[in-house]
Amino acid sequence: MSEKFTKWEDFENELEITDEQEAEIRLEMDLIKATIEARKNNKLTQRELSKKTGIKQPTIARIERGINSPQTSTLIKLLYPLGYTIKVVPIDEIKK
């Protein structure tokens, strides 16, 4: 990928991301956004959430910035004390 792209579509085509990979990326982004919202809805800082969950604050920061991909167990540890959980739903239900 040494050539310069002038259009996003050209760059996107060069990546050759499958539909499944794109869905995975979107899901991870949605989970991270939802986790940040849940923390903010509970009016907690990352440090306060760290104390509640035992997950180190720098780890929470890296997850929220999208640097680290959180494991399911980590997401549950973060969300449960905030009154949230993860739910699997049919794709058709998401598109409504």
> Looking at residue 39, what is its pLDDT?
95
pLDDT digits (tens, 9 = 90+) for 4-54: 778 888 877 788 888 888 888 888 999 999 999 999 999 999 999 999 999
Residue 1's pLDDT band (boundaries 50, 70, 90)?
A: very low
Q: What is residue 5's three-state secondary structure?
A: coil
φ and ψ of 41, to 5 deg: -60, -30
State the pTM of this model. 0.76
Residue 88 predicted with pLDDT over 90: no
Give me the domains of the chain, ranges plus CATH numbers: 8-94 (1.10.260.40)
Span 75-83, mean pLDDT?
94
Do 50 and 56 touch, CB atoms closer than 8 A? yes
